[in-house]
Amino acid sequence: MFTGIVEERGTIVAREDLAEAARFTVRGPLVTSDAKFGDSIAVNGVCLTVVELDDGAFTVDVMAETLRRSSLSDAQSGAAVNLERAMPAGGRFGGHIVQGHVDGVGTVVSIAPSENWTVIRIALPQTLRRYVVEKGSITVDGVSLTVSSVGVDDGRDWFEISLIPTTLSETTLGSLSDGDIVNLETDVIAKYVERIAGPHAANSAEGK
């Protein structure tokens, strides 16, 4: 489990494409300082398992399902990525519950900077819109954020996040441009509530 509090910006130093998979080597001196074989590290919000460690870098294998659902399918050597180690059991819970299981990708629609914050609007898949609510939590490229607004334009669902200068400078979100693809993980609690309440809602609709 993670909390969406990015610890450092790492760099993909190598990518090897395999049969229905890919192997990435990522430089991250902080997250590898105490890492061991088999540990979990979130890379742009994707929970991945360390299979090799070498002088401040770690290697992970990414299966086809993960590539299909996330922006890692297009990630190349030299790209900056957000990194976070799994939260220790006795650690401070700084963000929200983040599993590192990306639900899908969104597209940056607009970026509106101001003196003290920047508002980024992101279009999201229609299948995820019911889990995204104003003032709720969402993970964008591994960063725990609060949804500041939601809406629909021309049949396209979107949400907005308001970022302070520290978030912009300490994560990859400060380098986003219109049209960029980002990984999205919605609040897992909403999905569990929907699963549990679904049968009761259906029975009520049928008058049972």
Domains: count for the chain: 2
Per-residue pLDDT tens digits for 150-202 = 999 988 999 999 999 999 999 999 999 999 999 999 999 888 888 888 776 55
pLDDT of residue 18: 95
- Amino acid identity for residue 17 in this structure: D
Q: Measured between alpha carbons, how far is 54 from 135 in angstroms, rounded to an integer?
A: 41
More confident site: 118 or 189:
118
pLDDT at residue 21 above 60? yes
Same domain assignment for residues 67 and 120:
no
The pTM score is 0.90
In a domain, 207, yes or no: no
In a domain, 61, yes or no: yes
Same domain assignment for residues 53 and 126:
no
In a domain, 116, yes or no: yes
Residue finishing a domain among 85, 119, 134: 85
Q: Coil, strand, or helix at residue 131?
A: helix
Q: Measured between alpha carbons, how far is 173 from 85 in angstroms, rounded to an integer?
A: 19
Q: Measured between alpha carbons, how far is 20 from 23 in angstroms, rounded to an integer?
A: 11
Per-residue pLDDT tens digits for 125-150 = 999 999 999 999 999 999 999 999 99
Same domain assignment for residues 81 and 113:
no
Per-residue pLDDT tens digits for 35-51 = 999 999 999 999 999 99
In a domain, 206, yes or no: no
Specify whether the CB–CB gap between 136 and 208 falls below 8 A.
Answer: no
**DSSP letters of 147-183?**
EEEEEEETTEEEEEEEE-HHHHHHSGGGG--TT-EEE
Written as six digits, the tokens of 178 are 């219109």
In a domain, 94, yes or no: no
Q: In terms of Cα–Cα distance, which of 176, 153, 152, 154 is closest to 163?
A: 176
Q: CB neighbours of 90 closer than 8 A, spacing ≥ 6? A: none
pLDDT of residue 202: 56
pLDDT at residue 80 above 60? yes
Written as six digits, the tokens of 197 are 């309440």
Average pLDDT, the chain: 93
Same domain assignment for residues 19 and 74:
yes
* Domain range for 24: 8-85
In a domain, 81, yes or no: yes
In a domain, 97, yes or no: no
Same domain assignment for residues 69 and 12:
yes
